[in-house]
Amino acid sequence: MMDFAAALAQCPLIAILRGIRPEEAAAAGEVLVDSGFTLIEVPLNSPDPLRSIAILAGTVGDRAVVGAGTVLSCKQVADVAAAGGRLVVSPNTDAAVIAATVEAGLASVPGFLTPSEAFAAHAAGATALKYFPAEASSPHILKALKTVLPTGVPVIVTGGITPDKLALWSASGATGFGLGGALYRPGIALGDLKRHADDFVLARR
| Cβ proximity of 160 and 132 under 8 Å | no
The single residue of 23, 24, 30, 130 carrying the catalytic annotation is 130
| Cβ proximity of 32 and 4 under 8 Å | no
Active site residue 130: yes
Active site residue 146: no
Handedness of CA 86, 196, 142, 117 (dihedral sign): negative
According to DSSP, the residues that pair with 130 across neighbouring strands are 111, 156
| Cβ proximity of 35 and 198 under 8 Å | yes
The single residue of 23, 41, 135, 143 carrying the catalytic annotation is 41
Q: What is the C-alpha separation between 152 and 199, in angstroms, rounded? A: 27
What residues are labeled active site? 41, 130
